[in-house]
Amino acid sequence: MAFRDIFKQHSRKDAGGVFVFDQSELSILASTHKTTYNEANPFPHVVIDDFLPAHGAHQALAEFPPPDAPLWLDWTKRDTIHQPKKLGVGSAERLAQASPSLQHILFTLNSYAMIEFLETLTGIQGLIPDPHFTGGGLHQILPGGKLAIHSDFNFDSKLKLYRRINTLIFLNIDWKEEYGGHLELWDSTMTRCVQRVLPIFNRCVIFNTDKDSCHGHPEPLNTPDHITRKSLALYYYSRDPKEGDNDIRTTDWRIRPGEAE
């Protein structure tokens, strides 16, 4: 196939199983939600349903690696206190074991069109995607698993950049309220949960990440043995930190009221 023919094939939003973002549509979406995003409590965020083209979302789910796939890191050898039964890939090197279509979707979420969308939505300029997918890419939480409330690390030592934005896209079809797995957003003093977001299929959550963006899903997942909580996770950086958040830190795990340390 000629090089120019590949560009023709990929020029549509959804073509033969692969897609690229329609930048004009993303621009409208960003303009529509930017005020809501920046005025949201307890910190800037937005929830957008049906974010990926339907075919792309269904393909991502169909090709999402099962829990026994070799690309997952062994959760039993990681942090079993704050994130038990949470599977991660951790790096682009391991992500290379995922299907080409799934890799394409993740690369598209790191594309120019996505960066332009995020800069308009958040008001943060000079955003840079992470080609290494450090700590991101694919996440999967097994029944009984959880992710304690935390604020994220703020500096990538390989990129030499500050982390500014998280984007999560959930891939959980026919998800029931009683399964739990809500993404919880807490106030900075850990006094109360302000927002609870059910991780339903093709729901996208975008939020600022700084020392006060406390989030997680702290209650153990209540799903049948064959159902897991699946998500795509993308992190975006900038050369400069948020004003007042320039002290380099690791993940800061938080304690909820009444919770044992």
Alpha-helical (H) ranges within 76-181 are 92-95, 100-108, 112-122
Please state the domain extents for the chain: 21-240
* Residue 209 near residue 127, CB atoms below 8 Å: no
Distance CA 242, CA 236 (A): 13
Query: Per-10-residue mean pLDDT for the chain, 261 residues long?
Result: 35 53 92 98 98 93 97 91 95 94 95 97 98 96 98 94 98 98 98 98 98 96 98 97 87 91 68
pTM assigned to the model: 0.92
- What are 208's strand-pairing partners? 165
Look at residue 258 in the predicted model and tell me its pLDDT: 86
Residue spans of beta strands (DSSP E) within the chain = 45-49, 86-88, 128-129, 137-141, 147-151, 155-156, 161-170, 183-186, 193-197, 203-208, 214-217, 229-238, 252-253
* Strand pairing report for 45-49 and 203-208: antiparallel
Look at residue 12 in the predicted model and tell me its pLDDT: 35
Q: For domain 21-240, give the CATH number.
A: 2.60.120.620
How many CB atoms within 10 Å of residue 181?
27
